[in-house]
Amino acid sequence: MRSQFDFTPLYRSAIGFDRLANLVEAAASASAQNGNGYPPYNIELVGDNHYRITLAVAGFSEAELDITSHENTLVVTGKKANDEDVATQERKFLYQGIAERGFERRYQLADHVKVHAANIENGLLNIDLIREIPEELKPKKIEIRAGRTPDLIENA
């Protein structure tokens, strides 16, 4: 499904923004596919370079959850064990409001954002993320010298 946005003018006048356009298209298609909102989650800014994703995973054990980070994508998967599925089928619910189905949530991470830690407590899975900008990409202070022209390098 193509988005309703036409990024052609952006491609003509800017270099390197194709990734941004792809992210917008992926977000639009993901929201259409994941309209069920399961499992519910929060994304919060904890500090300047510290983020936390919290997913409500009631009924899932640590062994049934999988967190994978590859390049700029974080994937959280929950898969119920087969033996519990059989037990669930034998039970007779009058009302079942707790979802016990598998899920997969994908999050697109910005450059230099890494998964720092993950823990589960009281049915909430917390994933801590940290943005670590390499030294060579941080801003550098340039010294200004008065009255002297810097030496030029010939044939540079």
Structure confidence by residue, pLDDT tens digits, 83-124: 555 555 677 889 988 777 899 999 999 888 999 999 999 999
Domains and CATH numbers, the chain: 1-33 (no CATH), 37-133 (2.60.40.790)
pLDDT tens figures, 57-73: 988 999 999 999 998 89
pLDDT (average), residues 7-23: 66
Per-residue confidence (pLDDT) for residue 71, from 0 to 100: 87
Name the nearest CA neighbour of 104 among 127, 68, 77. Answer: 77
Beta-carbon contacts of 51 under 8 Å, excluding residues fewer than 6 positions away, are: 43, 44, 45, 113, 128, 129, 130, 131
pTM: 0.66
Please report, for residues 65, 94, 127, the alpha-carbon distance to residue 69 in angstroms, rounded to integers and kept in the order given: 14, 39, 11
Res. 135: pLDDT tops 80: yes
